[in-house]
Structure 1
Amino acid sequence: MKTLLILIVLLWAAPVTAAEQGLSLAKSTGASWLQLIDQGHYDKSWQQADAFFKAQLSSDTWQHALGGTRAPLGKVLTRHQKSSQALTSLPGAPDGEYLVLTFSTEFEHKAKAVETLTLSKQSGQWRAIGYFIK
């Protein structure tokens, strides 16, 4: 009976652990992608983004947009994740696995900002499909 109980607990816990690992991987991917932007590697961030993202804007457009909005903010002083939300649909995007990460960020030239990073797993790997700063 004790063995059966342990087996049931393990079978129940395995999917939760797999889901947590998936979210952890997504968050790690998002952090790495944000570091590219923090370092000014805008073209590389575009290259590592999801195909859906790339279909919406060219590398030149992306670099120009970040150069005008992100670069003037200066270096990241602190970045803390505020929330994460797993979704299966987003407006204007096909149904799939999405993760929306929100960060409270302090930049060198902007004390309080909110960054929103949206990741998709459409390609089989977590990749960025959206990035906004408020």
Structure 2
Amino acid sequence: MLLDEGRADLTWLPAGSALKASTSESNWVKGISGLRTGVGEFKHRNHAQISFTREMPDAPPGLYAAVQIQSSFSNLEVVEVVLLVEEDDQWRVVGYNISKNIQLKAAIPLL
């Protein structure tokens, strides 16, 4: 994955037209790079879950796929969500997000 290689800059060209209409290349690259801040080096991915829909809020009608992937990085376990749209007989990225699973450890025993 381009993001794992630190190449967020290469994700813009193949992105979907809805993404390109909603933001600039520099904002997209800064945004997805920022989401990766603090997670550390990529280790592995497990358990992908895919759901499909023909309607998305604030987006043109089309066939969309939301791919949720449990991912492991050196500093954190996360759930990555990649939103794709079928466009020109290809799946193109129109969104990306990370849910960081933060686990708090008690410094003192709780009674």
TM-score (normalizing by structure 2):
0.80
Pairing partner for 1:66 from 7, 32, 37: 32
**Residue of structure 2 in register with 1:84 after alignment:** 50
TM-score (normalizing by structure 1):
0.68
Pairing partner for 2:68 from 86, 102, 111: 102
Provide the C-alpha distance between the structure 2 equivalents of 1:75 and 1:104, rounded to a whole number of angstroms. Answer: 15
Work out the percentage of aligned pairs sharing the same amino acid. 29
Report SS of the residue matched to 1:73. Answer: coil
Once the 2 structures are TM-superposed, how far is the Cα of residue 82 of structure 1 from its aligned partner? 3.1
Provide the C-alpha distance between the structure 1 equivalents of 2:40 and 2:14, rounded to a whole number of angstroms. Answer: 22
Report whether the alignment pairs 1:44 with 2:13: no
CA RMSD across the alignment: 1.4
**Residue of structure 2 in register with 1:114 after alignment:** 79
| Structure 1 gap ranges (5+) | 1-34
Aligned residues: 99
Structure with the higher helix share, 1 or 2:
1
Report SS of the residue matched to 2:44. Answer: strand
C-alpha deviations, 1:38-79, integer Å up to 9, x for none? 111111111111111111111111222233221431221111
**Residue of structure 2 in register with 1:128 after alignment:** 93
